[in-house]
Structure formats: structure tokens, C-alpha cells
Structure 1
């Protein structure tokens, strides 16, 4: 089973080309489109989406992620092997899904070896079609990842700085995702349940679900992904608060009446 997460969009031929490359190698491959609508070049957003997908897929699933603004540069193309496989550029995209696959080894894909295996030249600007997709297809056929290149230190894989930072009685957090409803997801998990969350000068009640406030009102909640979420019932918290993925915000969790 191969999942695809990209920022290719659906207008052009890119997704189709990548699927064709996969199916040429393994016509029986089961391909699951997660999304091709990651905000262009947003590695943070792609990492969050891949994390959520990895959490709910069975062992040995091959997750191909292509959010790759550095395509064709010196950045590495890698395979991470664990309970599942990650096939992606080494640009921080692995940061969040890596937590869930119990990684045991990682490999840098040798482009010359890949050219020999697939029997054609690799484009310098479309590694989704020519590198990552084919690597996923070959893994699905049982190829050992060591056939693609040398093993590398797992600790050398690039990680995004997504650790929440404590500042006195506040947290300095990052927006790691905004969904189609405008819900703002922040990089704080495993926290004690507060009564209120203070963000951008607003004191917002912490509740269990959206319908606990009137339409148009703000609330905070654990969300379905276990990260701190800011939302508006039947509205967009991102628009109301003027937030976008990657923004840093100071957040205070209030445990009393405040």
C-alpha cells in the first residue's frame, strides 16, 4: 500500500505522471491519495498531514511525501524504515511522522542507481515522478532499501524546530496546520486541560466541541489530532485571528477563572 501526500495540486499532469511511474513498476500497487493540496512549499503543513496519516495506517505501509522546494539541489532523497516506510526529501518533512514509525534505519537514495533501476534519466525538477514514486513502488515489490543507496544515521535527518517553548507562564507556539474550516492547530500536545486559553489578547474558553459556543464565537479544544486547537463555531479562527501556518504566537493556559 502506497500513500501520496504532495503539493502538486490537481490541475496539471503531475499526480498522474507519478502514479504512472509507480504502476509501471508495480501494476498491482494499491495507491491511496492523501492530498495533493498541501500549501505550496509548506513543509510544516506536509509534515503534520503525514503524521496524522501514519498514525492510522497499518504496518508496512509506504508513505511517499513530496513537498520539495529544494528539488534538484544538494538536499538528500531518503527512505526511512520502521514499522512503516517514509519516502521523502530530507528537508524536515519527516519531523512529525517519524515519531510514529519506530525508525530502525535510514537510507540516502543514490540517483545514479535509481536511473539504472528504472531505466531512464531522472529529471532535475520532478523527483516525485522519477525518484520518490519509483522508490515507493520498488519497496512495495519487496526491494530492500539498501539497494537504492547507502545507509545514513537516523540522527542526521533534518528536523523542523517544532518543539513548544515555555516562556515564564506562557508558551511560544507555532501554527502547524489550518484546516479547510479555518481551525488553527498549534504545536502543543500532552498538556493539562485548562479552563481558558489566552491568545492574541483574547481569553477563549476551553471546551470539548464546537457546538458548545454560539455560531461565530471562538473556543479552544483538544481537537481530533490531540494538539491544541483554536476554532470558531461555523467560522474561521484563522481569518478572525489573522493567522497562517508557520506563525509564532504567545499562548497562556489559564487553569483558574483568570
Structure 2
């Protein structure tokens, strides 16, 4: 069989040799493997962000690509190590701790297998319990990507319904407003990305150039409230002004033109961060 691409994601950062060790293990399985980095800047222990970054990226890779995602605060515990097969015939090697949440919800997972560590573990690493990213995940993923093992040889089957999932809130719509969560930050630029899809947003009957009232709350505490224009791109606002836009995942984002919205207003992500967008009453439209 032809070799598959191997893509790595972790919360390890690049300041030490951890990621390099994972590359080395994979290349020791097959020096001709093509290995790529998705990101190694997931916030430490943040399983939600790891799950979201997989969802953000996975559909843009060829069929058969093998992904490794290691955000693993439970390393060394009884949490399972799995390889999931997606609806689009890709593979994710990861701890079963919620990392598969967004892919399962929005893309689909058809099969899952528990990694049999008696077979799929770096030789002579059996006494190490704190670096499964190197000893189990990179090694198993490389063997799968290189065709050394088949998917069936990963280990015993696990019912997809038993995979650990994090709670996902769905956006809601009323006659004059949509309400959602702040799912993730566009970290480099400080934009905030919501879970409000373009289709539900369109139910407000808005058009480009409309001004909308945006309220952001954290545990019902008001963090931000302002009137913001809905634009096609950042160029539709003046330098330093906020703008609503449709992001690359077809969901609503909020930005400051050449500034960081998240940093300016100390915005974070998660189930407790709510955003409400409504048509304002009065003279704004």
C-alpha cells in the first residue's frame, strides 16, 4: 500500500526536544514517511482547543492521512488510547479524553479501535508512563501510515458511541437575536470565533454593511457591548474598529482591524462565554 501523510498536534511547544523525539520515532519506523506539524501551541492541557484545531484542519488533508493529537493531562491513568477512523477515511491517534469531540460531531467517526500497547508501543519503552505521545501515539501512527500494520491490527474495536465527548453547546435563534458561544480564538491575530454558523445568522435578515448590537458575557457578567458593522472583510472597517465577519469555517467571528479583540477586552473561550448578536433598535441601520 502507498504511504500516508502523518500530521502531528500537541500542547508540547517547541522549546525542548519532545516534538523532535516524536518525529524521530516516526522516522525510525520508516525514514520515507512525510511528517507535518498541525500545531504544537495548543494551550497546556486544553483538550477543547485540541479538539477544535483538528476539526478546523482535517478536511483539508488527503484521504488516508494519519493525525496524532496529544493533549493529555491524564497520561499514565486508565484513560484509553485509541485510533478513530473518520467518515472521510482519515485516522486520528489520540487519548480518548474528548479530543475527538468536534470531529465526531461535525465530520463523523465510523470506527474506533483501542491501541494494543503489547504490540503497538516503541520497543524498550514499557516502563515509561509519561510520554505516550512518543512511545505509543507517534509509533502507532507511523506504523499505520507506513503500512507496517493495518487498521485492524491497531487493537480491539471500540463502539463509537463510547468515545469520550466534551459538551458542545448549539447556537439558538429568536425573532431578533442569535445566541452562541465563543468556541476558539484566532490566536495569532486575536479574533474571536463563535459557534454561530452563517445559515442561522442569516435568519436575522441582515446584509453586509448592517450594524448589529453585540453583547459578550462570561457567567452572565457583561464583558462587552457595542454596535458593530457586519462586513465581508477587515477592509470594511476603519483601522482599530471592530467588525463582524464570516470566518474560514463559515461561522461568525469578531475582530478589530489590525488589532486583537481578545486582548483588548480580555475575551476567552468555552461554555461560559456567551455572545448575543441582534439588530439594534433606532438609528443604526
2:190 counterpart residue number? 182
Aligned to 1:59: 63
Deviations 1:138-157 (A, max 9, x none): 11122223323210011111
Paired residues of 2:185 and 2:262 also in contact (CA < 8 A): no
C-alpha displacement of 1:102: 4.3
Question: 1:220 is matched with which residue?
Answer: 244
Partners of 2:34 and 2:107 in 1: CA distance: 20
Runs of 4+ in 1 over 6 A off after TM superposition: none
Point out where structure 2 has 5 or more consecutive residues left out of the alignment. Answer: 216-223
- 1:112-144 CA-to-partner distances (Å, cap 9, x unmatched) read 3324xx422242110110111011111112222
Q: Does 1:21 align with 2:25?
A: yes
Deviation at 1:170, TM superposition (A): 4.7
Asked if the contact 2:230–2:243 (Cα under 8 Å) also holds between the matched residues in 1, the reply is yes
Question: Superposition pairs for residues 191-202 of structure 1, below 5 Å?
Answer: 191-193=200-202, 194=206, 195=210, 196-199=212-215, 200-202=224-226
Map of 1:155 onto structure 2: 161
Change in 2 beyond 3 A, CA 1:248/1:227: farther
Q: Which residue of 2 aligns with 1:127?
A: 132
Residues 8 and 36, structure 1, Cα contact 8 Å, conserved in 2: yes
- What TM-score comes out, normalization by structure 1 length? 0.91
Residue aligning to 1:249: 273
Q: Which residue does 1:2 correspond to in 2?
A: 6
Q: Compute the displacement of 1:46 (Å).
A: 1.5
Q: Which residue of 1 aligns with 2:91?
A: 85
State the TM-score, normalizing by the size of structure 2.
0.83
Answer 1 or 2: which has greater strand percent: 2
Aligned partner of 1:95 among 93, 101, 116:
101
Q: CA deviation at 1:257?
A: 5.4
CA RMSD of the aligned region, Å?
A: 2.0
Deviation at 1:255, TM superposition (A): 4.4
Do the aligned residues in 2 keep the contact of 1:8 with 1:37 (CA within 8 Å)? yes
Q: How many residues align?
A: 256
Is 3-12 or 154-163 further displaced after alignment?
Answer: 154-163
Report the secondary structure of 1:93's partner residue.
coil
- Residue 137 (structure 2) pairs with residue 137 (structure 1): no
Partners in 1 of 2:183 and 2:64 — Cα distance?
A: 30
Deviates more, 1:168-177 or 1:178-187: 168-177
CA distance in structure 2 between the aligned counterparts of 1:246 and 1:40, rounded to whole angstroms: 15
